[in-house]
Structure 1
């Protein structure tokens, strides 16, 4: 009887612990359910991937959020901002399933501005699916490979709200056709990024038409020193430029002032490119705040302390940040060197970040 009583007492104690645990979890669950829909929507927004676009997947937000419970599904489906970014890729095989997924995703965005990337596998049926949403595309990233053999109509006059365009896989052969389409882009355009494939000269740059006047952010490669200056002339509102230079011509460079450029990143090969000092001597950038000069060669020697001093002594710009580097850089900044740099440009904020940044 004593043994039975002890067992009963143990069961009662276990039951009490289980009840306490259940009550605690009920309280937590109740608190979660009491969260307003607006708060839950904001939490869901922080669950999204950090990339601009991503392919639909049940393993990541927002689709994952619709599989947790009925309320989460209702909140996720009813939050249009969760469905405004998408990577689409589909060939003719399995088109029906892909089309259903993309169409449902886009409808859930409910008229919000869209960020869209077209993958390498591109079905001709995709255009008809996207057509009702063209006027909402704000960001577009495309690979030229998906348009091989047909005219790349997707970035043309039917994108009235486009602000940022990224083009991947472009070659010199593609320039005439692409330039024709880019020249018809709307005045809403602000950013144009062309991967560092073809090197542009003055004539191809000019063929892009009036779109240059709207741009504030550009990434491109140029093969001619005066083409670089011509690019700045075409972009009077440019505030940020990331440019790959590969020129070695020695003809004179006309001086040019650009009053709005604030950030300039130059990637160059010192074995093929004339000294950047020639370019800097021709430029006047009174509002430049950030300058980055990188060498695109493992065989090139890194920037020495004397190189940096000579560069800073030549620049008459109000720099705040200067980055000098390459694929191999062994530059280490001492306190004495840091003081010399600041003495040349008092506004410069010297930051020692590894062996590349200062």
Structure 2
């Protein structure tokens, strides 16, 4: 009897603990249920991964927004009814198993309910991809693709199908495929503002010219060019440019004409200089004037060549009379404390002169 009483007492104690836990969780659940749908939607938006792209219903990692649909029925209803959660999509699938993948992608796109889309196309995709995306082409504002997408055997998205496109990123290594890429870019709409060509090898002047009138609309560009003259030509092609990130190769020495760009505010130069050219950075500094420049970063990757062209940098800053706020020197280039102090005294708006310990 004593043993039975002891077991009974233990069961009663466990029951009390369970009841306390249930009451506690009911209180938490009640607070969540009392949140208005609009607030819950805003919370869900902050649950999305920070990456701009790479959201997919086929991902092995279960994260927002898919994760939010698996908590409870109300969360699923709110998540499915929040279009902004479904505006970023990464598409990659082979012809095998495409029907199931297409169903998932189509459902995802329909949940975005007409909102602007950020789309990334993976390295592998089926011949039926165009049919899936056709109803949503006019909503694509941000597009990222691999150079493989421009091979002849793949079904291309036509630039004329993307009337709302604002940002295009192309990654990869090309051999002889710059012409089809240039043809695509040359037909992009006047809505374009950002073009990032993370492509190897670099672009020559004739390649830049072949991209057509799209340069006139751009405010943000990232592209590798073959020499300082191509850099100057790029500035001439982009009168509205505000931000430029440009690796420059010094493959040959040519005369450089002076040029002033009145709107450029942020410039990052990564110079891959050659031992055959002794003053490529000096020649470049002496050729440009940038009266609206606010942030400048300059890096040299080669141990060859001359030392940091301090006097030419001073001349550039004095000539431009720009409101420079930050100057960053990196890679193989170094400056002394005395040179740093001279820059600060020359430009009253200069707040920081940094040194980036980075080798490319």
Using the size of structure 1 for normalisation, the TM-score is 0.88
1:88-117 Cα offsets, whole Å, 9 max, x none, are 011111111111111111111111000001
1:154-206 Cα offsets, whole Å, 9 max, x none, are 14111000000011125251122221121111000001111141322222211
1:212 is aligned to 215
Task: Tell me how far apart the structure 1 counterparts of residues 158 and 141 of structure 2 sit (CA, whole Å).
Answer: 11
- Verify: 1:142 aligned to 2:145, yes or no: yes
Task: Tell me how far apart the structure 2 counterparts of residues 148 and 346 of structure 1 sit (CA, whole Å).
Answer: 51
- Verify: 1:267 aligned to 2:270, yes or no: yes
Cα distance, 1:222–1:147 mapped onto 2, change above 3 Å: closer
Conserved in 1, the CA contact under 8 Å of 2:344 and 2:350? yes
Aligned residues: 349
Deviates more, 1:143-152 or 1:77-86: 143-152
Task: Tell me how far apart the structure 1 counterparts of residues 330 and 355 of structure 2 sit (CA, whole Å).
Answer: 11
2:34 is aligned to 34
TM-fit CA distance, 1:345: 2.5
1:315 is aligned to 316
Conserved in 2, the CA contact under 8 Å of 1:312 and 1:344? no
Conserved in 2, the CA contact under 8 Å of 1:309 and 1:341? no
SS in 2 for 1:169: strand
What are the residue-to-residue correspondences of 1:241-260 with 2, within 5 Å?
241-260=244-263
Task: Tell me how far apart the structure 1 counterparts of residues 168 and 357 of structure 2 sit (CA, whole Å).
Answer: 33
- Verify: 1:349 aligned to 2:351, yes or no: yes
Deviates more, 1:108-117 or 1:166-175: 166-175
Conserved in 1, the CA contact under 8 Å of 2:328 and 2:353? no
Task: Tell me how far apart the structure 2 counterparts of residues 155 and 291 of structure 1 sit (CA, whole Å).
Answer: 36
Unaligned runs of 5+ in 1: none
Task: Tell me how far apart the structure 2 counterparts of residues 355 and 249 of structure 1 sit (CA, whole Å).
Answer: 28
CA RMSD of aligned residues (A): 2.6
- Verify: 1:286 aligned to 2:291, yes or no: yes
Cα distance, 1:91–1:17 mapped onto 2, change above 3 Å: closer
Conserved in 2, the CA contact under 8 Å of 1:225 and 1:249? no
The match for 2:75 among 72, 77, 87 is 72
TM-fit CA distance, 1:271: 2.8
SS in 2 for 1:123: coil
Task: Tell me how far apart the structure 1 counterparts of residues 6 and 132 of structure 2 sit (CA, whole Å).
Answer: 71
SS in 2 for 1:226: helix
Task: Tell me how far apart the structure 1 counterparts of residues 285 and 353 of structure 2 sit (CA, whole Å).
Answer: 23
Conserved in 2, the CA contact under 8 Å of 1:318 and 1:345? yes
Cα distance, 1:269–1:196 mapped onto 2, change above 3 Å: same
Using the size of structure 2 for normalisation, the TM-score is 0.88
Unaligned runs of 5+ in 2: none
Task: Tell me how far apart the structure 2 counterparts of residues 242 and 194 of structure 1 sit (CA, whole Å).
Answer: 10
Conserved in 2, the CA contact under 8 Å of 1:152 and 1:178? no
TM-fit CA distance, 1:225: 2.6
Conserved in 1, the CA contact under 8 Å of 2:330 and 2:355? no
- Verify: 1:91 aligned to 2:94, yes or no: yes
Conserved in 2, the CA contact under 8 Å of 1:332 and 1:355? no
Conserved in 2, the CA contact under 8 Å of 1:155 and 1:182? no
SS in 1 for 2:79: helix
2:50 is aligned to 50
1:233-257 Cα offsets, whole Å, 9 max, x none, are 1111000011111124333211111
Task: Tell me how far apart the structure 2 counterparts of residues 155 and 219 of structure 1 sit (CA, whole Å).
Answer: 22
1:272-306 Cα offsets, whole Å, 9 max, x none, are 55421111111010000111111224x459x97xx
TM-fit CA distance, 1:352: 5.0
1:25 is aligned to 25
Deviates more, 1:198-207 or 1:151-160: 151-160
Conserved in 2, the CA contact under 8 Å of 1:338 and 1:350? no
SS in 1 for 2:25: helix
SS in 2 for 1:65: helix
Conserved in 1, the CA contact under 8 Å of 2:327 and 2:354? no
Cα distance, 1:5–1:333 mapped onto 2, change above 3 Å: farther
TM-fit CA distance, 1:346: 2.5
TM-fit CA distance, 1:30: 0.4
